[in-house]
Structure 1
Amino acid sequence: MRAAERRLRAGELALRIAVLGLGLTAAALVGSDSQVRRIFSLEKRARFTDMKVLVFVVVANGVAAGYSLLQALRCVVGAMRGYVVLNKVLAWIIFSCDQVMAYVLLSAMAAAAQASVLGQFGQPELQWIKTCELYKKFCKQVGEGLGSAFVGSMAMIMVTCISAFNLFRLYGSKNSNGGW
């Protein structure tokens, strides 16, 4: 196996482990977040389930972490056995699943970013208050979770680049004269 191939495999494994760790961190931070605020005689509790987009972030990052674990195990087994994905069907499945995970994580981040801006700054024209002024601890922990989710989604996008490379190099012809 060439050195470049080993570096590519190591990079893919490192990115998949990063997605696993960051996804679990994001899901744990957002999913365990709650804060109780006493307003006059009422107790109001802020939970991540109050915003459906945060539920989506937790689920998406949990699924991405599980998927990354499976793919990391596949990478480790492949490295131990010394094989490269030579099957085009398997390469297409991996590429497609990586794409789906990247787009799901990216859409969760986009939706959560919009909800976060509304929570932080409100929307006075619609009489939406700045909820982060009331629940500072809650918003801080959600922000930390979303930061982790953002870095994880960027790592997943880099994984898709590697899986695209692994797929499309199978279509390169070593014997053709008109190749790249």
Structure 2
Amino acid sequence: MSPGTVAVYYGGGKLRVLDSRMKMIEVVLRCAICAFGVLAAALIGFDSQVRKFFSVEKKARFTDMKALVFLVIANGMVASYSLIQGVRCVVSMVNGAVLLDKAMAWAIFSCDQALAYLTLAAAAAAIQAAQIGQFGQPELQWMKMCNLYEKFCTQVGEGVVSAFLVCLCMVTVSSISAFNLFRLYGKAKGKS
């Protein structure tokens, strides 16, 4: 049997499921979350552009929009958490353990769900702020800013795309953690 296959053993009415592919996918996704989260935070956090209007210099920074500050903080948190969970996954793969106890599975599931919603909220807020910066809001007399700060807006757009990828990966990881949690509650409880 190849190492990436699912093995099912029936013994004494108990079902034992070993799924190394699921663990490998989780490790890859957590590494992707970490990389994209750091990339999004760096692209947006270090972005600035100075523009001179007559004799006044105005500097555009990510701190000028609170939605971008929220996005940078959220992606930093998710990247740190995913790094820790990625290390936990690698250690469990090396030890051969597939499932954890219920308390740990609940904790991982809860954190994954909370951070998936956090990244979704941060990405949605940043997209809304980017739309206002790109197109303005004439009804409120907010002017377009991206035609004045093109480099800044382009780099923020790249960061928002990276944050959206973090969101997609985080939703997938939270689905995996939900699967890992709820398979502990079947008629035949899985054990490692």
TM band (smaller chain): over 0.9
TM-score w.r.t. the length of structure 2 is: 0.89
User: Match of 1:43, SS?
Assistant: strand
Percent of paired sites with the same residue: 58
**1:117 corresponds to:** 131
Aligned residue identity for 2:48: S
Q: Which amino acid aligns with 1:3?
A: T
- 2-structure distance, mates of 1:42, 1:145: 28
Shift of 1:85: 2.3
Partner residue in 2 for 1:94: 108
**1:17-67 Cα deviation digits (max 9, x unpaired):** 000000000000000000000011110000001111111000000000000
Uncovered stretches (5+) of structure 2, i.e. residues with no partner = 7-18
CA offsets, 1:97-144, max 9 Å, x none?
A: 000110100000111111111000001111100000110000000000
Question: What secondary structure does 1:160 align onto?
Answer: helix
Return the match for 1:33 from 22, 25, 47: 47
1:178 is aligned to none
Residue 86 of structure 1 deviates from its aligned partner by 3.3
Give the number of equivalent residue pairs.
Answer: 175
Match of 2:66?
52
Q: Does 1:126 align with 2:140?
A: yes
RMSD between aligned residues: 1.2
Separation in structure 1 between the aligned mates of residue 100 and residue 154 of structure 2, nearest angstrom: 46
Distance of 2:38 and 2:80 partners within structure 1: 9
| Residues 1-180 of structure 1 mapped to structure 2, 5 A cutoff | 3-4=5-6, 5-174=19-188
More helix by share: 1
Which protein is richer in strand relative to its size? 2
